[in-house]
Chains A and B, each alone.
Chain A
Amino acid sequence: MADELVLLDFWHSPFAMRVRIALAEKGIEYESREEDLSNKSSLLLKMNPVYKQIPVLIHRGRPVCESLIIVEYIDEVWPHKSPLRLLPSSPYDKANAMFWADYVDKKIYPSGKLVWGATGEVQEAAKKEMIENLKELEGELGDKPYFGGESFGFTDVALIPFYTWFYALETCGDFSIIEECPKLVAWTKRCMQRESVSNSLPDQYKVYCFLLELKNKFEAK
């Protein structure tokens, strides 16, 4: 029933990647519509008038916005037993998964943006913060194969799209993520072995070029 589900998408957006991964994990068919963010479609403006941002999942004509809310929605509408269930069933484990997904939004995204997007002192400070944040995440991962434990889950979905930023972060920030966080890098490799992930993530170098373009655009303003 592909006509029931439309994803307003943008190939390079880590937030859109989360939704693609979640849908792929559950084997749900959908239509992806690539948006031109410099020329947003009337559909996007209509479906997300508040933020005018992707991703937007349109299910039976009704829009769901904000990537983590969309992933949670997908998990509720298409509930599967583990391992296809993205959020754990135990309230405490679920809360933990949500906490760390929220951490990615609060910490990784803002400091990451400054590492590839800023220069000088601002960039240096962001780099320090980013390394701390990645280590903190690595601490949470521990010796588990995934943040979700034995199964790939909500926090994994929330974080793995930022793997596409690694090349950009390392090149702009001049540091090595594998040196700082070897276990986290091992986790990224494990995730990339999943088709749902490898099919949903663009190449790191292409993302680097895209981010540089973005950075230049802002600097030009």
Chain B
Amino acid sequence: MEEVKVLGSWPSPYGFRVQWALELKGVEYEYVDKDLFNKSDMLLKYNPVHKKIPVLVHNGKPIAESVVILEYIEETWPQHPLLPKDPYERAMARFWINFLDNKDKVAPFVTFFIGLGEEHKKAAEEVKELLKIYEEQVLGEKKYFGGEEIGMLDLAMGWMAASFGVIEEIVDVRILDGETFPRLHAWIQNFRANPVIKNNLPDHD
């Protein structure tokens, strides 16, 4: 009897990736939410090095770092593959996940959300540039980043489908609209419509 636990912290996108991966593969797991500001014993026990979520605990053995966890999930439960078979395509998917997670590429989105005035304006421009890259270079003509089916890169990008609209509402600035980014916009609709993802999206409120 397998025991799978996910230590996450709502609404961390890194935690969502892990949950979506398990859900898509039909793996049963227990979700344990950790108060982000109250580093419990559990977190210190399972991720003593970085003390961060998400952590996957499989039969008592912890795995940390969302990308490492996703690769582990992929290897352990091969059904509904999230990575292509071809090594080059796999390398490309990994490259873009790495790009997406790069501090410098995350920062503009954060500043867009919490920044003010000039900072916010500059961040909005940077976000537009990044979205352009994702739309044209990464997604291209494909339905999903993974091709015909949702793949690992879709899960990594998933926070955009889940939360970016809400962020835009809060800051009252629209960037990701159907006219400027038609393909990304379509991808968001497709991603959100997937029955597994649909049941595991953070509430708008």
Residues of A within 8 A of B (CB): 50, 59, 62, 64-66, 69-70, 72-73, 76-77, 91-92, 94-96, 98-99, 102-103, 136
B98 touches A98 (CB 8 A): no
CB neighbours of A69 from chain B (8 A): 91, 94-95, 98
- Quick check: B88 and A95 within 8 Å, CB to CB? no
Known: A59-B88, A76-B90, A95-B63. Contact between A136 and B72, CB under 8 A?
no
Assign chain B's interface to a size class.
20 to 34
Q: For residue A105, which residue of chain B has the nearest CB?
A: B98
Residue of chain A at shortest CB distance from B48: A136
CB closest chain-A residue, reference B64: A99
- Asked if B99 is an interface residue, CB under 8 A from chain A, the answer is yes
B72 and A91 within 8 A (CB): yes
Convert B63-76 into 0s and 1s, putting 1 for each residue whose CB lies closer than 8 angstroms to a CB of A: 11101110110011
Interface of B is mostly: helix
Which of B61, B72, B90, B99 is A94 in contact with, Cβ under 8 Å?
Answer: B72
Residue numbers in B under 8 Å from A65 (CB-CB) = 95
Cβ B68 vs Cβ A73 within 8 A: no
Q: Flag if A95 contacts B69 (CB, 8 Å).
A: yes
Given A91-B76, A98-B71, 9 more contacts at CB 8 Å? A62-B88, A64-B95, A65-B95, A69-B98, A72-B94, A73-B90, A95-B71, A95-B72, A99-B68
Q: Is the CB of B87 within 8 A of A92?
A: no
User: Is the pair A91, B64 in contact by a Cβ cutoff of 8 Å?
Assistant: no
CB within 8 Å for A50 and B99 given contacts A76-B87, A95-B63:
yes
How distant is the Cα of A196 from the Cα of B67 in the complex, in angstroms?
A: 29
**A–B pairs, 23, beta carbons within 8 Å:** A50-B133, A59-B88, A64-B88, A66-B94, A69-B91, A69-B94, A69-B95, A73-B90, A73-B91, A77-B87, A91-B75, A91-B76, A92-B63, A94-B71, A94-B72, A95-B63, A95-B68, A95-B72, A96-B63, A98-B65, A98-B67, A98-B68, A99-B49
